Amino acid sequence: MQTRTLGQGLDVSAVGLGCMGMSFTYGPPADRGEMIALMRHAVDEGVTFFDTAEVYGPHINEELVGEALAPVRDRVVIATKFGFDLSPGRDPRGMSGSPGVDSRPENIVRAVEGSLTRLRVDVIDLLYQHRVDPHVPIEDVAGTVRDLIAQGKVRHFGMSEANAATVRRAHAVQPVTAVQSEYSLWWRSPETELLPTLDELGIGFVPYSPLGRGFLTGAITPDTTFGEGDFRNTLPRFTAEARAANQALVDVLAAVGTEADAAPAQVALAWLLAQRPWIVPIPGTTKVHRLDENAAAADLTLDADALARITEAADAITVQGERYPEALERLTGL
C-alpha cells in the first residue's frame, strides 16, 4: 500500500477505512467478531488509517475500533470526531429540527476523555470537529484542541464539512491537518473553493463516501431495496427514479474499468486519488472482498486520457436527487 501525507506531516495509507457502517447507519450492526477480523485484515493489507466518531452508535463504533486495533496500535492512525450533544433526549443528527451540534470547550474535553477510553489509546492521532457549531466561535474550538495537543491527548486537528472561510480561521489558531467532507464523482462541491484553499494552506483532504454510499460500485440498481434502518432509505439521491437517472455515471466507470481491468469502485477511487497527492479517501465496507478491492485501487494508475474522459463524462451528467434531506443538509457547510 502506498502512503500519502496529510497536513502537518501526518503519513497514512493512500486509502483508509471508514468504520461507521460497521455499527451505524446502514441497518443493524454487523457481527462484532467479523468486523474486528476485517479491521485486522485491513492492517495486514497495508491500511493504516481508520476513521470513527463519538456519535457513531453513539460510542459503540469507537469501542469496536478500539478493541480491533489495540494489538496493532503502533501500526495505525486512528481518527475520531467530537461535536454533537449526546445528552439524553437530544437527536445527534438534528432530524427533530434542533441542530444537535455542541462544540463548547467543555464538551470537547468531555468527548476526548471518553474517546481515549473507548479507543484504548493514550493519544488521539487525528481529532476532527464533526460539524461546525454556529454558536461557538471556531477560534474557541481550535484553541481548545490546541490545548489538548499541548497536553499530549491529541496529535492532530481536523475539521469535517467546514467551508473554506471557516477552515482558514481555524488554521490561524491551530494548524489543521485534514478536512473531511463528502467528495466523489457524484458530489464535487469541494472542488470550487475548498480544495484550492487546502492547497494554499497545506492541509490534507479526506473524502468520506468516496463511492457514493455504494452507488459507484455498480452494485446498486433501480431495483435494489435497502433493509430496515438503512440510512439510504431517507436520501433523495437513492430513490428508484434518481438511481435510474444516475446510472449513466456508473456506466462510465464500468467502461473505463473494462479497459483497465478494474472494478468501477476502483476507477472511482483512482480518479479521486489523481485529483491531488494529499487526498486520502476512506471508503467503508463490512465485506472482506470489498476491502481488498478498495485497497487495491491505490495501485491503479489511470492515464491522462482515461482521467479526462471520466471528468468530461461527469461534467456532462446532472446527478439527480439531493445528497441529504433538508434537516441533515443544515448540518453541512456551516
Q: What positions carry a catalytic annotation?
A: 56
Cell numbers linked to 153? 491527548
User: What's the rounded Cα separation, in Å, for the pair 288 and 285?
Assistant: 8
Q: Hey, how many other C-beta atoms are within 10 angstroms of the C-beta on 256?
A: 23
Exposed, middle or buried, 284 (CB in 10 Å: 0-12/13-18/19+)?
buried
Dihedral of the CA atoms 69, 72, 76, 79 (nearest 10)?
20
User: What's the rounded Cα separation, in Å, for the pair 317 and 196?
Assistant: 23
In angstroms, the first-to-last Cα distance of the chain is 35
User: What's the rounded Cα separation, in Å, for the pair 213 and 207?
Assistant: 12
Per the CB < 8 A criterion, the answer to whether 276 and 195 are in contact is yes
HEC profile of 157-191: EEEECCCHHHHHHHHHHCCEEEEEEECECCECHHH
User: What's the rounded Cα separation, in Å, for the pair 224 and 248?
Assistant: 16
Instruction: Write the CB contacts of 200 (distance below 8 Å, at least 6 apart in sequence).
Output: none
User: What's the rounded Cα separation, in Å, for the pair 118 and 37?
Assistant: 18
Pairing of β 17-18 and β 11-13: unpaired
Instruction: Write the CB contacts of 325 (distance below 8 Å, at least 6 apart in sequence).
Output: 95, 234, 235, 236
User: What's the rounded Cα separation, in Å, for the pair 295 and 289?
Assistant: 10
